[in-house]
Structure 1
Amino acid sequence: MPGSAETLNDTRLKFNEESGVAMNNDKEFDQIPVVQEGFQEGKTGNDGDPYLVVWDGHQDPGCPKGFKKRNKWIITLIVAAGAFNTTCASSIYTSTYEQIERDFKSSHELAIAGLSLFVMGLGIGPMFLAPLSEFYGRRPIYIVSFACYVLFLIPCAAAQNITTMLVGRFLDGVAGSAFLSVAGGTVGDMFEKGDLGLPMMVYTASPFVGPEVGPLIGGYINENTHWRWTWYVMIIWSFVQWVLLCLVPETYNPVLLQRKAAKVRRETGDDRYYAPYDRREDGILKTVLISCKRPFLLLIFEPMVLALCTFTALLLGILYLFFQAFGIVFRGSHGFTLSQLGLSFLGLFVGMILGVSTDPLWRRVYRRLVEKRGESIPEFRLPPGIMGGILVPIGLLWFGWTTYRSIHWIVPIIGSAIFGTGTLLVYSAVFAFLVDCYPIYAASAMAANSFSRSCFAAGFPLFSTQMYQALGNQYATLILALLTVAMAPFPFIFFKYGERLRKNSRYARSP
């Protein structure tokens, strides 16, 4: 019978290069193929079923890829601004340490825990927010989670003790994590593969730029007024962001096709018409459990995932460690004020912008590798990571050994810019490689990366002050540089031997 569950199971998802669809026998649906509409008699869907409702090409009014280009960019900028806001909130807190420690009579380590708990929330939230978006769509997740994000800023602003602040920070991180797990999908929903590079670059850069801007804004606020104004400003900014998010339409294809199928059933009076998601067998609980389990399976059984996730986690850990280290270096050695300390993070900001600006160069390298081989393989995504792996330890060594009081403060900031450029290149290469190497399990691979990064970013700030005070600025940074030297060869190793490793992988794309 047309539209039966058996028919749908016969067309269980396969990876389709033309439509960019990733599906598997575990029923982990990421997108729905863009094929000809099949809700009228005589028209067939992707599996020959006349009752399977799909898009009537990009000219279909409901298809996200058919949105006007201007509207696509407005939506992209709104969700990118949400990611920027969330990650800015993670680091703006660091400028409140002195006042919070005085007002709450807390230790410095306990105050730092507010940064660590927020970042840990950013890592935990995607585990269940991402699968929930599969059932309800992206728009409800944005609106509800960001509304909670704004509400959880209020306890931070009104806190009368450090416990309230820490609980509020953790819950705020969980609520704000939607933009690190769902927003990238919104951009991918709207743009064709050939046009996806620039908008995805804008979105990808936003959560990396946010942490550098946070101390800059917070420094001026906390130098001139009470620390609570940090949260008043964030509440106002975040509420405006939430209003903008309410204007963003749904872009998730499976949910939109469900709505289209329901409309067709109402218009035709025939209940046989259905969308693929109408016949999915997994419930919310099972989907969430799979989302929580598979990232750890990839970390355990896939050496490439483990190594590259550890490398990116180390880099983010060092980045968040800098929020304490910069204070020790620039306030202790160079006498910076709080606002000047915020400006010192512009080196990292400029470095990451430089990293983004090199994207055309790496695209040319990628095209030449593809032309030389005659086909595209995931390993061709790694050259930026190879260069980034070289720049990162150079930047750290430059920064560490120029932190003497006798050396002008601009010199270590230049070193931090080199570190920022290398970090951005490593991230861009690893993200692209994981998605290309594990197309069916891309969401799980990225979740594994996100979780490992959050663990390191949450843990490193907790021991940074003690490490820099005990070892000194130079030797503490030297240890960090040596750790990156140990990790730097992995992009090159996988570039050279990744294809061989994929042959024995249970999850990776086969050579």
Structure 2
Amino acid sequence: MAAMEKPEEQYVENGKVINLIIIAFHAMMATFTAAAIQSAYVDIAEDLDVSVQRASYLTSLVIAIIGAAPLFWRPLSNVYGRRPIFLLSLICSAICNVGCGLCHSYATMGFCRALTAFFISPAASIGSAVVSETFFSHERGRYIGIWTAMVTLGVPVAPFIFGFVAMRVGYRWIYWTLAITNLVQLVIYFFVGPETRYIPGQQKKKSSSAVQKYLGFSRIDPTPLTLKDFVQPLFFITRLCVVIPAMAHAMVFLWASVVITIEIPQLYPEKFGFNSQQVGLQNVGPIVGTILGEQIGGFLSDRWMSLRNRNGVTPRPEFRLWVSYLGHLMAICGVVVFLVQTERASDTWNPTPIVGAAIAGAGNQIVTTVMMTYAVDCYRPDAAGIGVFITFFRQTWGFIGPFCYLQTLD
């Protein structure tokens, strides 16, 4: 009997991983969309007749909205399920990206970018709930790590790719590409992505027909929605085991990710005479660093927890925090190397600042995964709320920070 059940268990496990990959990619598209135009600031500024600094606000605006919008999406996803919200997100994001591509004024492009950010945001915060609902605690670090790594990778991967696009076919194809990607995601998730929200005793039996499976949307949680539901994640400000990790993560994310990826497209064209394609290539450092850092923040942090468990003692969530110290040190070291070496560089490009960016990216990812996993371990029943709160904290700080440090660095 055990031998007969094994293939079925493997099938279920594969299905969970596939669903996680779809959600993680969707989450990546939030930060990916925000950072997509970073390599094209100069082109956008010339086309819309604004300064490069004002063109960069089209990214800052998206960063802020991605932080606040999940407060609206979380209660709806709790009541109606994750799947309808994700499908609506992709449909509306595709439409708004088309709108961005058709805009010919700074104001209208900013408005369309704001709408795109609002609709693409759910998976970047609710993804923590999907992981919590589908995976066991002993593997949570690894799978939350996949989700957080994709969110982090969206920041450097977008300008890395779209630097080529802006250089070869014009920056408006950035928006067309984003719209096409959203539509492809929609088709895949519609046929492959299952609902993960489940409340024992609250769901009625459903038909197993294909029509019901893919088109049968219904209310999952009968509890009436109240205004408190939309602001409830903000109450985590009183929970030290959530707010302290959120603060640590937000500060590291600001300096080790946002500062570097915004400074590169503003400094390198002036300092080295780079075009958009060459600017985009500089993001290879943060990309490599993030991937390497995730091996420590996710897989090795789970192993670290299991080592304590083997001694017959169930480890407290705080035991995972030891791993984060390495991430903090690497982030500090990487940011210092990036800024100092950029300042020292002549008008001839050298790779040392990008090495610093890679070190900072690794540290950022270690801190991100460990802090998010620790907070979810502390309050697993409200994993969605934790994801929303930490995202709100991170994105708000990521929005405010550039207005302060840009003047300091200049």
TM-score, length-scaled by structure 2: 0.86
Q: Distance in 1 between matches of 2:9 and 2:230?
A: 27
Q: Distance in 2 between matches of 1:314 and 1:198?
A: 23
Q: Per-residue CA shift, 1:104-135, capped at 9, x if unaligned?
A: 22233332221111112211221121111111
**Residue of 249, 260, 266 corresponding to 1:322:** 260
Q: Per-residue CA shift, 1:447-473, capped at 9, x if unaligned?
A: 22111111111223345543322xxxx
Question: What letter is aligned with 1:379?
Answer: E
1:205 lines up with 2:144 in the alignment? no
Residue aligning to 1:45: none
Residue aligning to 2:331: 392
1:483-494 matched pairs, under 5 angstroms: none
1:20-59 matched pairs, under 5 angstroms: none
1:22-421 matched pairs, under 5 angstroms: 68-194=12-138, 196=140, 198-254=142-198, 258-261=202-205, 280=222, 282-284=223-225, 286=226, 289-292=228-231, 294-299=232-237, 301-318=238-255, 319-358=257-296, 359-371=298-310, 374-403=313-342, 404-406=344-346, 409-421=350-362
Q: Distance in 1 between matches of 2:345 and 2:334?
A: 19
SS at match of 2:401: helix
What's the CA shift for 1:440?
Answer: 4.5
The answer to whether the Cα contact below 8 Å between 1:137 and 1:255 also exists between their aligned partners in 2 is: no
Residue aligning to 2:211: none
The answer to whether the Cα contact below 8 Å between 2:260 and 2:357 also exists between their aligned partners in 1 is: no
Question: What letter is aligned with 2:175?
Answer: W
**Residue of 454, 457, 460 corresponding to 2:398:** 457
The answer to whether the Cα contact below 8 Å between 1:120 and 1:454 also exists between their aligned partners in 2 is: yes
**Greater mean deviation of Cα atoms: 310-319 or 163-172:** 310-319
Q: Distance in 2 between matches of 1:442 and 1:259?
A: 20
What's the CA shift for 1:82?
Answer: 1.6
Q: Per-residue CA shift, 1:193-250, capped at 9, x if unaligned?
A: 4555544432231111111111111211112232211111211122111111211343
SS at match of 1:68: helix
The answer to whether the Cα contact below 8 Å between 1:323 and 1:461 also exists between their aligned partners in 2 is: no
Q: Per-residue CA shift, 1:389-437, capped at 9, x if unaligned?
A: 1111111111122122248621111111111111111111111111122
Question: What letter is aligned with 2:261?
Answer: F
Q: Per-residue CA shift, 1:69-103, capped at 9, x if unaligned?
A: 33333322222222222321110121232122222
Q: Distance in 2 between matches of 1:420 and 1:223?
A: 26
SS at match of 1:246: helix
Give the percent of matched residue pairs that are identical in Structure 1 and Structure 2: 25
Q: Distance in 1 between matches of 2:233 and 2:12?
A: 36
The answer to whether the Cα contact below 8 Å between 1:112 and 1:461 also exists between their aligned partners in 2 is: no
What's the CA shift for 1:355?
Answer: 0.7
The answer to whether the Cα contact below 8 Å between 2:132 and 2:383 also exists between their aligned partners in 1 is: no
Q: Distance in 2 between matches of 1:196 and 1:176?
A: 24
Report which of the two has the higher share of helix: 2
Q: Distance in 2 between matches of 1:222 and 1:165?
A: 17
What's the CA shift for 1:305?
Answer: 3.3
Q: Distance in 2 between matches of 1:316 and 1:439?
A: 23
Q: Distance in 2 between matches of 1:236 and 1:442?
A: 31
SS at match of 2:192: coil
Q: 1:141 to 1:248 in 2, by over 3 A?
A: farther
The answer to whether the Cα contact below 8 Å between 1:101 and 1:111 also exists between their aligned partners in 2 is: yes
Question: What letter is aligned with 2:264?
Answer: F
Q: 1:253 to 1:445 in 2, by over 3 A?
A: closer
Q: Per-residue CA shift, 1:6-34, capped at 9, x if unaligned?
A: xxxxxxxxxxxxxxxxxxxxxxxxxxxxx
The answer to whether the Cα contact below 8 Å between 1:355 and 1:425 also exists between their aligned partners in 2 is: yes
TM-score, length-scaled by structure 1: 0.70
Question: What letter is aligned with 1:133?
Answer: S
**Greater mean deviation of Cα atoms: 449-458 or 82-91:** 82-91
What's the CA shift for 1:341?
Answer: 1.2
Q: CA RMSD in A?
A: 2.8
Q: Per-residue CA shift, 1:375-395, capped at 9, x if unaligned?
A: 221211101211111111111
Q: Distance in 1 between matches of 2:338 and 2:22?
A: 35
Q: Distance in 2 between matches of 1:373 and 1:191?
A: 22
Q: Distance in 2 between matches of 1:248 and 1:235?
A: 20
What's the CA shift for 1:329?
Answer: 4.0
Q: 1:363 to 1:440 in 2, by over 3 A?
A: closer
What's the CA shift for 1:370?
Answer: 4.0
Q: Distance in 1 between matches of 2:299 and 2:158?
A: 28
The answer to whether the Cα contact below 8 Å between 2:138 and 2:306 also exists between their aligned partners in 1 is: no
Q: Which runs of 5+ in 1 are unaligned?
A: 1-58, 265-275, 470-511
Q: Per-residue CA shift, 1:286-307, capped at 9, x if unaligned?
A: 1x52341x333321x3344333
* Greater RCO, 1 or 2 (C-alpha within 8 Å, sep 6+): 2
Question: What letter is aligned with 1:405?
Answer: A
Question: What letter is aligned with 2:285?
Answer: G
Q: Per-residue CA shift, 1:350-384, capped at 9, x if unaligned?
A: 11111112244333322333455822212111012
What's the CA shift for 1:324?
Answer: 2.9
The answer to whether the Cα contact below 8 Å between 2:203 and 2:220 also exists between their aligned partners in 1 is: no
What is the number of equivalent residue pairs in this alignment?
390
